[in-house]
Structure 1
Amino acid sequence: MTRHATRTSRSSRPLLVTTSLAALALIGSSCSFVGADGADGADGAGDAPTEEGSGPVVLLTHNDFSLPDEVVAAFEEQSGHTLDVRPTDGVGNLVNLVAEQAGKPSGDVVFGVDNTFASRVLGAEALTSYDGELPSGVATYALPGDDDGALVPVDNGNVCVNIDDTWFADEGIAPPATLDDLTDPTYAGLFAVPSAATSSPGLAFLLATIAEYGDDWPTYWEDLVANDATIVAGWSEAYFGEFTQGGSGGTLPIVVSYDSSPAFTVDKKQSATSTSALLDTCYQQVEYAAALDGAANPAGAQALLEFMVGPEVQAALPESMYVFPVVEGTELPTAWATFAARPETSYEVDPADIEANREAWLVEWTDVISR
């Protein structure tokens, strides 16, 4: 559901920030609590096709892809294919790699393309259709415009503003609830924001403000700057470095994070959490997997896609990659079911509009926050 707001008058003043136009090349750095090590994945294009039911499946992904060893072993046992994971630093770089290698990919499957970048790989004609059946609930997350069904939804989550409930209670200050509230002087100097130019959740938060304020979004950002928002390179810097509940002595009780984040700030008794997601500030992200056109192992690619929406992967997603499963009825960990509240509606921007305007929006955003 896309929401819009009327134009509002705002003021502005400068703020020192840690980003620049040069950072635009790093768009989309992915942010989860864990990661996986590996090679860049740019090599290997043009490998000879493998026999059906044998050979490795090469997975191109971001460097936060992580599944338990026993889940990977289950795929290899069930399919007869080994899994070769090749991470790339950031979703933006992953998408660029896939688009540049269209028709001659260095892998068989891509995972981690989200709805803010998916139209780029579709436009590059780098993908081929999935020929399997989708379990119940998965089609809900299909990307508009993907008429061939190439992108298979695997997980979802919402980028939301999070707050330190304990800090606000101790200070006797009513916490914010909406995007508008974040520009109120009550919250001056309390908000940590990952860069839209170098972070996937940072870009998602920018898109939320574009969905809310339309053409007036730069004025809203001028007000955030005027209210002493702290803008840092990525989600890890914002959450772990600046946020009061991030564990590193941060001093800011408001941060851009995820709707799942409160499930990780529960007490030892698993009876309460110290943080909340502001559910009126959320932008939905969906991650997709797809078989690559020209893949050396097309049979293995289809087998991996089927496995990614299977019960083993879907059940592992919350605790291994800190995202929600897309298959209906997948059981969540207790802390998630109790404390990871989800919004009834989320901000959305049409993928075609994102593709047409992303670079211009980021140039303007960088100009606004650098004044």
Structure 2
Amino acid sequence: MKTPFIASGFALVASAALAQDSQLIVYTYDSFVSDWGPGPAVEAAFEETCGCDLQFVGAGDGAALLARLFLEGAQTGADIVLGLDTNLIAQARAMDLIAPHGIDPEGLTMPISWDDPQFLPYDWGYFAFVHGTDLENPPSNFRELADSDLRIVIQDPRSSTPGLGLLMWVKAAYGDEAGAIWEGLADNIVTVTPGWSEAYGLYLEGEADMVLSYTTSPAYHLIAEEDDSHTVAAFEEGHYMQVEVAGIVSLTNERELAQEFLEFMLSPAFQQIIPTTNWMYPAALPAADLPAGFDTLVVPETPLLLSAEDAQALRQGALDEWQAALSQ
């Protein structure tokens, strides 16, 4: 009578051991896996529920992340890619390396609707130029910025999602006049960094008056440092949105575990980590649940966002305009 029970017990032990041996590898950007980023807290929270080994692998900034996935191709070690945005997902889709996620994303709180079979959002924000509150008469649009003597630091659109977002911001706001805007901005640009962290560091060191970042960046200083000396310039032409996404790599051997992670990504356990580690708006958390301080942030009156397909179609032309202006 005990034999079936013993056999069942061995099966349960074997199953538990197998689960503990399961490893999920997530490619993401460097700041996500940093000690102050969401990675450590997300890893601990997910491993409590999955009985697995979750490993984040930093791969530079978002655009560099996509480049790594492209170079590795069928040899990639990633099960999930996390950190692309709407400006990159059409290019990622064309690689044919991202599988349908099969998840109905209920409870999203973003200001836009979402219906993508391969990518799910986990956070979003608006690009903006951060500056000190002591800056007199901050510019209210790109033309005023170009006409000023202000020093700015931006990120490279070939390696950085904020850098690419700035290209799309100027393009969405000015269309065929984008090239002229860049010509005007060229002498304001102190340097172009590979990623966000380097640019923001230069701004904090006083090397620039303004830095390309997010409307949510002042929340970090306010909440983490009790410093209210940083704000953003509100631009009349609007601010471009960034929606960051994750997708399952089609070649993964851990499909069920990968899908479990994406479902976890939209749960409160993950979403509550985002505001005070990634300093963005969570994709599936009500505004009422945001930390105190987020209610003080600048909210753009005119959100700008190109579709993934339009962003892909405009990308090379916008990059050519940017390079031509900065090479003069």
User: TM-score normalised to the size of structure 1?
Assistant: 0.73
271 and 85 in structure 1: CA distance in 2 versus 1, 3 angstrom threshold = closer
2:209 aligns with one of 220, 233, 253: 253
Structure 2 SS opposite 1:275: strand
1:262 aligns with one of 218, 224, 237: 218
* 1-structure distance, mates of 2:40, 2:172: 40
Structure 1 SS opposite 2:174: helix
Structure 1 gaps of 5+ residues are 1-49, 169-173
Displacement of 1:264 in angstroms is 3.0
254 and 316 in structure 1: CA distance in 2 versus 1, 3 angstrom threshold = same
Structure 2 SS opposite 1:64: helix
Is the CA contact 1:105–1:293 (under 8 Å) kept in the aligned structure 2?
A: no
295 and 73 in structure 1: CA distance in 2 versus 1, 3 angstrom threshold = same
* 1-structure distance, mates of 2:259, 2:305: 29
Residue identity in the other structure for 1:276: V
CA deviations over 1:222-259 (Å, ceiling 9, x no partner): 11225x44232243444321x3xx2x233x43332211
141 and 151 in structure 1: CA distance in 2 versus 1, 3 angstrom threshold = farther
**Residue in 2 aligned with 1:176?**
139
2:161 aligns with one of 197, 200, 211: 200
**Residue in 2 aligned with 1:225?**
186
Is the CA contact 1:161–1:282 (under 8 Å) kept in the aligned structure 2?
A: no
**Residue in 2 aligned with 1:332?**
290
Query: How well do the aligned residues superpose, as a CA RMSD in angstroms?
Result: 2.8
* 2-structure distance, mates of 1:73, 1:118: 28
Map of 1:117-156 to 2, 5 A cutoff?
A: 117-137=88-108, 146=116, 149-156=117-124
Within the alignment, does 1:164 sit opposite 2:135 as a pair? no
Residue identity in the other structure for 2:29: H
* 1-structure distance, mates of 2:221, 2:44: 31
Within the alignment, does 1:74 sit opposite 2:30 as a pair? no
Structure 2 SS opposite 1:286: strand
Is the CA contact 1:128–1:293 (under 8 Å) kept in the aligned structure 2?
A: yes
Structure 2 SS opposite 1:319: coil
1:59 aligns with one of 26, 41, 49: 26
264 and 181 in structure 1: CA distance in 2 versus 1, 3 angstrom threshold = same
Displacement of 1:292 in angstroms is 1.1
Is the CA contact 1:139–1:153 (under 8 Å) kept in the aligned structure 2?
A: no
**Residue in 2 aligned with 1:287?**
244
CA deviations over 1:21-41 (Å, ceiling 9, x no partner): xxxxxxxxxxxxxxxxxxxxx
Task: Specify which structure has the bigger relative contact order, considering alpha-carbon pairs within 8 angstroms and separated by 6 or more residues.
Answer: 1
**Residue in 2 aligned with 1:12?**
none
Residue identity in the other structure for 1:164: G
Displacement of 1:269 in angstroms is 9.5
Is the CA contact 1:126–1:293 (under 8 Å) kept in the aligned structure 2?
A: yes
CA deviations over 1:31-54 (Å, ceiling 9, x no partner): xxxxxxxxxxxxxxxxxxx97896
1:310 aligns with one of 236, 253, 267: 267
Displacement of 1:83 in angstroms is 0.3
User: TM-score normalised to the size of structure 2?
Assistant: 0.82
* 2-structure distance, mates of 1:135, 1:327: 8
142 and 288 in structure 1: CA distance in 2 versus 1, 3 angstrom threshold = farther
Structure 1 SS opposite 2:303: coil
Identity over aligned residues, as a percent?
26
103 and 319 in structure 1: CA distance in 2 versus 1, 3 angstrom threshold = same
* 1-structure distance, mates of 2:223, 2:60: 33
* 2-structure distance, mates of 1:199, 1:269: 26
Displacement of 1:117 in angstroms is 0.7
**Residue in 2 aligned with 1:32?**
none
Within the alignment, does 1:214 sit opposite 2:185 as a pair? no
* 2-structure distance, mates of 1:133, 1:350: 20
Structure 1 SS opposite 2:264: helix
**Residue in 1 aligned with 2:299?**
342
* 2-structure distance, mates of 1:139, 1:282: 15
Going by fraction, where is helix more abundant, 1 or 2? Answer: 2
Displacement of 1:294 in angstroms is 2.1
Structure 2 SS opposite 1:207: helix
* 1-structure distance, mates of 2:44, 2:104: 23
* 2-structure distance, mates of 1:70, 1:201: 24
How many corresponding residue pairs? 305
